[in-house]
Chains A and B, each alone.
Chain A
Amino acid sequence: MAMNSTGRGDTRPIDTHQPHTATGQITTFTANRGLQIEEALIFEQGQRGRTAVDLPEPPAIKSRLGSVKPRKDIGLPGLSEPQVIRHYTRLSQKNFAIDAGFYPLGSCTMKHNPRLNEAMARLPGFADIHPLQPISTVQGALEAIDSLAHWLLTLTGMAAIAMSPGAGAHGEQCGMIAIRAALEARGDKRVRVLVPESAHGTNPATAAALGYVVDSIPATADGRVDLDALKAKLGPDVAAIMLTNPNTCGLFERDIVEIARLIHEAGALFYCDGANFNAIVGRVRPADLGIDAMHINLHKTFSTPHGGGGPGAGPVVLSEALAPYAPASAVVKGPNGFTLVEHAEGESFGRMKAFAGQMGMFTRALTYILSHGADGLLQASSDAVLNANYVLASLKDVMSPAFDGPCMHEALFDDHFLKDTGVTTLDFAKAMLDEGYHPMTVYFPLVVHGAMLIEPTESEPKESLDLFIATLANLAARAKSGDAAHFTGAPRLTPRRRLDETNAARKPVLRWRPTEVLDEAAE
């Protein structure tokens, strides 16, 4: 098969039946393995007095530090520049990344991060301006924010936008506060928020933090909101529904217009989690589905890099009814250029975050939109959906799709195909690591047993998908053939093998301490 002709078939370990002999019998003096270098913590490497930054002698002054004691020993290590560069270069080599391989992490949208976007965000005109310098000196920045806001509104069809939230979860909070503010403004104290069982954890966490009782709605057998259950739960105490669309099963909520109607009829509002907006950009305007608020993860749909966990940006689009409650700061276009409303005025619900938003993410997202253009944005969402369906169709007979029919931008499988093999979803994911793939999202959404959520994104070429499909088919066959040990002992070829998470949580060690301190503590 194709695998051998591409040379990848040989990456399998020789000792597949001996889970405890991880990487063959070869031991080295250093414990390094070729390019994989064991790297100590920065604190274990430095020496006092060394520094990688040459600074001038501070001028002699009379100190003005008041009654505060001067700083004593901090305990930071001292290193030269070559040491620091080598340390972090070595650390980087222990990471999987989109740049290096296929990363089909469902719901996270690991698409290619164009480098032009990085370069544009670093232009001194964007990177070296202060959020509080005079408005007259940042007109280009405000224009960039306004321009991005314009395109996001055009793409969603909504009336208004709050740009300041720091990521998706922060956007949820922003949108849900706007909803609560609007309800309270009409004297309506509602206490319940409906959240489908399949929702991302941030949804119930957001609603609960605002004092709402979270009431979960079950899914139907085809992975959508159960309309009858929804109707039964609706009542005068329901403030809102928080619904992801396309949903976290990778499916379009086909009754969404009806859901919106029912929600509004009950006097409640519709918060849409827009984490999966990337599937429908340029094709569907969320406003036409009847939603009231939705966050957009710029770090997903508009490809600002995930950076190992952040930063992101979570602008929130709002309906006409919610617009007055939007938080500060807001960019406003006036006759004499752009201004920034920095204080919550009128019905504005307050402020989410200092300053005016994640500018560095805005410039990247704007660059992305201009690069793709109208045709490219539509093609991107179409290709994302095509790629996911291609994976789904190609694996439907060897793995077990969670639901029938086409999917949106991600394909969801359950662990039925692993039944009686002794291999779990986690084991299967870990075996993928040895094959050189980052696993899909596992065990999410919760509505599917042993969930495996595969999001290829539009960035992946067909050749790459074909090899991935062949690999998964091979692994599935291997699991079914009774070779559980291959999976339960995986991964064997990664910088580390399975890590002991139980003990990590039982006796948390969250920081390095000098050995003298540890010794003292032990005495």
Chain B
Amino acid sequence: MRYLPLTGNDRRGMLARIGVGSVDALFEDVPKSAWRSQPIEGLPSHAGELDVERRMKALAAKNLPAGSVPFFVGAGAYRHHVPAAVDHLIQRGEFLTSYTPYQPEVSQGTLQYLFEFQTQVALLTGMDVANASMYDGSTACGEAVMMANRVTRRSRAILSGGLHPHYAEVTRTQARWTNFTAVDASADIDGNEDLAALIDGETSCVVVQNPSVFGHVRDLSSLAEACHAKGALLIVVVTEIMSLGLLSPPGEMGADIVVAEGQSIGNALNFGGPYVGLFATREKYMRQMPGRLCGETVDADGRRGWVLTLSTREQHIRREKATSNICTNSGLCALAFTIHLSLLGEAGLARLAQLNHATAVTLADRLAKIPGITVINDSFFNEFTVRLSKGAAGIVEELATRKILGGVPVSRLIAGKPALDNLLLVAATETTTQGHIDALAAAFEDIL
């Protein structure tokens, strides 16, 4: 077996040194009743690379890759072009095969990129500080609400009707099982909900997504003021982080915590994971943050270096008093994010964001001309909502048979609301060509 270096000879010699006759003897503490009576049922013996590769490729071949067809699917995960340098660098064994930087003297590479990552996230979101990543945007959202509960010592969170339904479900699940209240606003299809009226003296936070899941872009400054007037925090969720290349950041609107899905920068679609949760806040709440933090310091010779810091918030030190139970996070996805953003730089990000927006505007204008389609949004970044003359789920299936991945039916995200059945979320990015747009438009004209 190619991954196992011990030879029969090695094993015999080692058993002799240990002083037992067989490996089985080392398992003497296992109750006899629990010994597996037969080998692993149905699993063949070890297999060579070529054989395994054939089997995995056969599975992969049953999927329709986004890059092979006109593709308009978004709703929290976006297909962007990732420069070749990113994957090359993150596959360097020194990054790929190291652990959490517990021994900083031999982990300065990881620590320095985490420091760069934290800085980039703070700059992008317009916040003071950011952590070293969460599992993804949705879990970061749940953690943000729990942090707001700690900061305000209140336990009522208001969830916007423009929040991604999976994020809302994750947060509601947290609420139900960690004992706080999550108040849901109804689906904000038109992007004009008014949450200020729901805020009361018990409210710990308002969670609002920008652009919303329906694509609407809003200035949240007055909502921030309304929150602060009642002693609540404003949590802004961003599921398309690329939008911050073009939009004024949540920090400038008065957000207290910003959580985001960072997948769009540096990371592939991967059928939903692994992704990278971004988490940023104001300096004054720094010690209430979940997750790892990397900080600057000096070594014994006075040279600048980095360490994990403020770990008295974390589970390995605080145990049942920790701010969160998170341990493993999304380190390598954070590295991909950091490298891609370094490649883009200020000028590249601004142009890329503009390209996304312009492509989406072109798409929206084209679709708006088709009978049976109404574009709902006045404002959007690279994704918007259309109302079709027929059920969106069926239309998307029909498009798929024509090898077009046409968007996300709202009914897939929000079940049991027939009024939403005709709504479709449509996204465009820099990877969308005029040819793709023409193909989608032609198919819609044919089907609707």
Contact = CB atoms under 8 A, between A and B. Distances in A.
Nearest to B79: A130
A306 interface: yes
A205 B318 contact: yes
B19 A373 contact: no
Given A208-B321, A350-B176, A499-B307, A133 B64 contact: yes
B91 A95 contact: no
Given A74-B124, A254-B31, A257-B34, A127 B270 contact: yes
A12 interface: no
A240 B7 CA distance: 43
Interface stretch (A416-424, A457-465, A475-483): A457-465
B341 to A, nearest CB: 7
A141 B271 contact: yes
A116 interface: yes
Contact of A308 (B98, B170, B307): B98
Contacts of B344: 51-53, 76
A378 B27 CA distance: 13
B288 interface: no
Interface in A161-220: 166-170, 172-173, 177, 180-181, 200-202, 204-211, 214
Interface stretch (B38-46, B193-201, B226-234, B438-446): B38-46
Contacts, number: 735
Contacts of A274: none
B362 A61 contact: yes
Given A210-B178, A363-B56, A374-B43, A52 B299 contact: no
Contacts of B2: 371
Contact of A377 (B40, B99, B261, B352): B40
6 contacts: A42-B116, A97-B94, A97-B96, A354-B272, A444-B316, A460-B5
Interface in A330-389: 342-344, 349-361, 363, 366-367, 369-380, 382-383, 385-387, 389
Contact of A311 (B332, B341, B342): B332
Nearest to B377: A64
A40 to B, nearest CB: 9
B216 interface: yes
Contacts of A92: 89, 92, 94-95, 109
B325 A202 contact: yes
A73 B126 CA distance: 10
B99 A308 contact: yes
A251 interface: yes
Given A206-B325, A251-B29, A311-B329, A501 B297 contact: yes
A278 to B, nearest CB: 13
A239 to B, nearest CB: 12
Nearest to A309: B331
Interface string B106-129: 111110110110111011100011
Nearest to A151: B43
Interface in A1-48: 19-20, 22, 31, 39, 41-43, 46, 48
A382 B63 CA distance: 37
Given A114-B3, A394-B17, A497-B299, A126 B60 contact: yes
Contacts of B173: 177, 327, 344, 349-352
Q: Which of A84, A114, A289, A358 has the most CB of B within 10 A?
A: A84
Interface stretch (A230-238, A263-271, A315-323, A502-510): A502-510
B235 interface: no
Interface in B48-103: 49, 52-53, 55-68, 71, 73, 75-77, 79, 83, 85, 87-103
Given A51-B348, A168-B328, A201-B319, A97 B245 contact: no
A204 B249 CA distance: 37
A169 B107 contact: no
B170 A353 contact: yes
Given A96-B103, A371-B52, A499-B105, A283 B249 contact: no
B297 A128 contact: no
Best-surrounded residue of A352, A360, A392, A497 (most CB of chain B within 10 A): A360
Interface string B264-276: 0000111111101
B19 A393 contact: yes
Given A100-B94, A210-B177, A361-B274, A461 B299 contact: no
Nearest to B127: A511
Contacts of A449: none
B178 to A, nearest CB: 5
Given A208-B320, A254-B29, A386-B6, A309 B358 contact: no
Contact of B405 (A73, A137, A168, A180): A137
Contact of A53 (B83, B135, B146): B83
Contacts of B317: 201
Interface string B405-416: 100100011010
Nearest to B350: A71
A288 B38 CA distance: 13
A271 B433 CA distance: 51
Contacts of A63: 357, 361
Interface residues of B, number: 213
B378 A370 contact: no
B156 interface: no
B35 to A, nearest CB: 7
Contacts of B294: 510
A205 B34 contact: no
Nearest to B346: A76
Interface in A388-434: 389-390, 392-394, 405-408, 429-430, 433
Contacts of B29: 251-254, 405-406
Given A201-B314, A494-B106, A501-B297, A166 B135 contact: yes
Contact of B248 (A71, A108, A122): A71
Nearest to A342: B412
A500 interface: yes
B14 to A, nearest CB: 4
Residue among B23, B57, B244 having the largest count of chain A Cβ atoms under 10 Å: B23
Interface in A127-156: 127-134, 136-141, 143-144, 147, 151, 154-155
Contacts of B190: none
B26 A42 contact: no
A355 B247 CA distance: 26
B4 A55 contact: no
Interface string B236-261: 00000000111111001000000001
A321 B270 CA distance: 32
B357 A133 contact: no
B204 interface: no
Contacts of B396: 134
Contacts of A508: 286, 293, 295, 309-310
